[in-house]
Amino acid sequence: MATQRDGQHLQIRLDPGSSIPFYRQIILQVEMAIADGRVTTGYRLPTVRGLAVDLQINPNTVAKAYSELEIRGLVSTQHGTGTFIGEWSPAPSEVDREQLLSQLVHEFMSHLGSYGFTVDDLRAYLREESAKDGRK
């Protein structure tokens, strides 16, 4: 789902193979977009129904995610107008970031393994790509 406002951009994608429930994937992606500055105060999120249609999931799943984001104070819902990123938008905690990174890496490694790649294959590839980019 791509939604834009004043040059800001948020794309929400769900991984059906993940052990993370869809509503939680939505929450994490919105939190990360806030944390890295892709969206800021006043950014209008897609409607519950619109996001549900785009992601091909039950609208109750999106509503649950938005509700939890609102409880955390990250968004505010204005009936008839939409759901917006709130003025107070703390970044996810370091523990949340580490948990998300761990989950993503484990899922990625599982996918790599299913195609016969090893950790050493990945390391070699990352070294090559880093050398091309001039990074360490």
78 and 13 co-located in one domain: yes
Number of structural domains in the chain: 2
38 and 63 co-located in one domain: yes
Q: Per-residue pLDDT tens for 119-133?
A: 999 999 999 988 887
Give the angle 83-104-17 at the CA atoms, nearest 5°. 80
Q: What is the pLDDT at residue 30?
A: 93
110 and 65 co-located in one domain: no
Say which CATH number the domain at 71 has: 1.10.10.10
- What domain range is 103 assigned to? 94-133
128 and 67 co-located in one domain: no
Among residues 61, 42, 41, 43, the alpha carbon closest in space to that of 51 is found at 61
63 and 100 co-located in one domain: no
75 and 117 co-located in one domain: no
| Three-state secondary structure call for residue 41 | coil
Q: Per-residue pLDDT tens for 52-62?
A: 999 999 999 99
Q: What is the pLDDT at residue 80?
A: 86
29 and 61 co-located in one domain: yes
Is the pLDDT assigned to residue 4 strictly greater than 60? no
21 and 76 co-located in one domain: yes
Among candidate residues 46, 68, 85, the one where a domain is terminated: 85
The radius of gyration of the chain from alpha carbons, rounded to an integer in Å, stands at: 17
Q: How many CB atoms lie within 10 A of CB 22?
A: 19
35 and 66 co-located in one domain: yes
Identify the sign of the CA torsion 22, 71, 10, 100: negative
78 and 108 co-located in one domain: no
**How do strand 75-78 and strand 2-5 relate by DSSP bridges?**
unpaired
37 and 80 co-located in one domain: yes
Among residues 121, 19, 23, 108, the alpha carbon closest in space to that of 69 is found at 23
pLDDT band at 111 (very low <50, low <70, confident <90, very high): confident
Q: What is the pLDDT at residue 12?
A: 94
- Written as six digits, the tokens of 101 are 């990174």
Quote the pTM value.
0.64
73 and 103 co-located in one domain: no
Strand partners, 78: 82
| Three-state secondary structure call for residue 118 | coil
Is the pLDDT assigned to residue 1 strictly greater than 70? no
